[in-house]
Amino acid sequence: MALGLAAGVALGLFARPFALALEPLAFAFLDLLKLLVLPLTFCAMVSGVTGIGDGLRLGRAAGMTLLFFIGTTLLAAALGLALVNLLQPGVGYPVVTGSTSPALAERPPLGPGELLGLFIQPNLVRAAAEMQLLPLLLFALALGASLRSLGTEGRAAAGFFESMNAALARMVGWLIAVAPIGLGALVAFQLASAGGWEGLSALVTSLLWWLGVVLLGLGLQALLLLALLRILAPVHARALPRQMLTALITAFSTASSTATLPVTLMAVESAGVRPHTARLVVPLGATLNMNGTALYEAMAALFIAQAYGIALDPATQFIVVLLAALAAIGAAGIPEAGLVTLVMVLTTVGLPVEGIGLLLAVDWLLDRFRTAVNVWGDGAAAAVVDARLNARGAGDGDDTSDHQAPQTHAADQKALNG
């Protein structure tokens, strides 16, 4: 996988005509990943809920998951704000007015109705067509809980979703086997589209300090998640980083937590997280747990304030942290997710929306790094929730299929490690 990524970077930077010709292969692989997202997510969520057991265990799992998501997202936003206050990458930056994208500038900020619409949709088919995962996940959660409450009547349907999940996981394993070629082509094409080596070096030089500060923040957030993993889930701390490598490379290459979800789910289960926990936490994480996005949006808001010479008092900066966390959650089902929800942060605290234009040059590159951190956060969340549930004895009496997962997915494990 790493070799495919390295080959893609080399082709994109130094063999631009050939890399541009890889467009059909690149997007065919991306489409195959997206094709598996909806059925796998739905079946994984239903089978995960039905496998947890009684309502008390489900409530504990959901509560721990949301608590971890909220806590790490707020920490990420606060960390990003602290770094920009300390290193001040926006001070003295040359501002060019009117440089924002009209599509972004004209888009109104998200209100309560729009935020509620991310969770509730009257038409699930339309939500699926538009890749709005949150309404589907909520429906799958309710369906799984309903099947579990039926007892013996619901076992046949629960078994169907369990079998479908296993079959889809096997298909993901097949796709992972050819992933180095697909991801390499995708990275090569996207780098070539950005201008190859000349285009990349010009963009990076123009915002080198900002780029470095953001990467520092994302790296510190990844280390913070690793520290939480070692403290709260030491049983998974050794295996998870190694198994997540494929998912992180896929996240960097696709710049999409949603497209990476099938790979993330397989990686987490391969690291020893019990399947029913992974199937509950990972799909929710792909839509709600956006550590990298929250950190970036808090940093971007203060960077723009510094570039325009606008001082933000501590109370306003506290609001920025809260808004960045909320915007990161709301980014899941929205096109141009990170930049679009940044509009909400800027307008709420009175910063110029046209300041987004200062970030556009390197946003596409930073988006890949923050997506990788988002996916790493999903894996860490699943491991921590699983370990804490097990420590509380929530796994007593669980279905023995949890312990048969390594055998069920043996072929997929080989593909993932490859």
CATH number at residue 39: 1.10.3860.10
pLDDT tens, residue by residue, 246-292 = 999 998 888 888 888 889 999 999 999 998 899 889 988 887 888 99
The residue type at 191:
L
Q: How many distinct structural domains can be found in the chain?
A: 1
Whole-structure pTM value: 0.75
Quick one: residue 95, left, alpha or beta (phi over 0 = left, psi -120 to 50 = alpha)? beta
Q: Which residue did the predictor score with more confidence, 269 or 343?
A: 269
Quick one: residue 189, left, alpha or beta (phi over 0 = left, psi -120 to 50 = alpha)? alpha
- The answer, yes or no, to whether residue 41 has pLDDT greater than 50, is yes
pLDDT tens, residue by residue, 131-179 = 777 788 788 888 888 888 888 888 888 889 888 888 887 888 888 788 7
**Percentage above 90 pLDDT, the chain:** 23
- The answer, yes or no, to whether residue 75 has pLDDT greater than 50, is yes
CB atoms < 10 A from the CB of 56, how many?
A: 10
Question: How confident is residue 331, by pLDDT bands cut at 50, 70 and 90?
Answer: low
The answer to whether the Cα torsion of 41, 146, 275, 66 is positive or negative is: positive
SS (H, E, C) the chain: CHHHHHHHHHHHHHCHHHHHCCHHHHHHHHHHHHHHHHHHHHHHHHHHHHHHCCHHHHHHHHHHHHHHHHHHHHHHHHHHHHHHHHHCCCCCCCCCCCCCCHHHHCCCCCCHHHHHHCCCCCCHHHHHHCCCHHHHHHHHHHHHHHHHHCHHHHHHHHHHHHHHHHHHHHHHHHHHHCHHHHHHHHHHHHHHHCCHHHHHHHHHHHCHHHHHHHHHHHHHHHHHHHHHHHHHCHHHHCHHHHHCHHHHHHHHHHCCHHHHHHHHHHHHHHCCCCHHHHHHHHHHHHHHCCHHHHHHHHHHHHHHHHHCCCCCCHHHHHHHHHHHHHHHHHCCCCCCHHHHHHHHHHHHHCCCHHHHHHCHHHHHHHHHHHHHHHHHHHHHHHHHHHHHHHHCCCCCCCCHHHHHHHHHCHHHHHHHHC
Q: What is the pLDDT of residue 399?
A: 44
Q: What is the pLDDT of residue 37?
A: 78
C-alpha distances in Å from residue 226, one per residue of 168, 241, 312: 29, 8, 32
Q: Which residue did the predictor score with more confidence, 398 or 211?
A: 211
Q: What is the pLDDT of residue 410?
A: 43
- The answer, yes or no, to whether residue 109 has pLDDT greater than 80, is no
- The answer, yes or no, to whether residue 334 has pLDDT greater than 90, is no
Question: How confident is residue 357, by pLDDT bands cut at 50, 70 and 90?
Answer: confident
Q: Which residue did the predictor score with more confidence, 114 or 273?
A: 273
- The answer, yes or no, to whether residue 364 has pLDDT greater than 70, is yes
Q: What is the pLDDT of residue 200?
A: 65
Cβ–Cβ under 8 Å, residues 213 and 84: yes
Q: What is the pLDDT of residue 102?
A: 40
Q: What is the pLDDT of residue 390?
A: 84
Nearest to 416 by CA among 290, 242, 159, 226: 242
Domain hosting 159: range is: 2-417
Q: Which residue did the predictor score with more confidence, 119 or 50?
A: 50
Question: Roughly how many angstroms between the first and final C-alpha of the chain, as a whole number?
Answer: 7
Mean pLDDT lowest among 16-30, 266-280, 295-309, 374-388: 16-30
Cβ–Cβ under 8 Å, residues 165 and 40: yes
Q: Which residue did the predictor score with more confidence, 395 or 369?
A: 369
Q: What is the pLDDT of residue 396?
A: 47
Q: What is the mean pLDDT of residues 220-249?
A: 93
Q: What is the pLDDT of residue 202?
A: 62
**How far apart, in whole angstroms, are the C-alpha atoms of residue 54 and residue 76?**
33
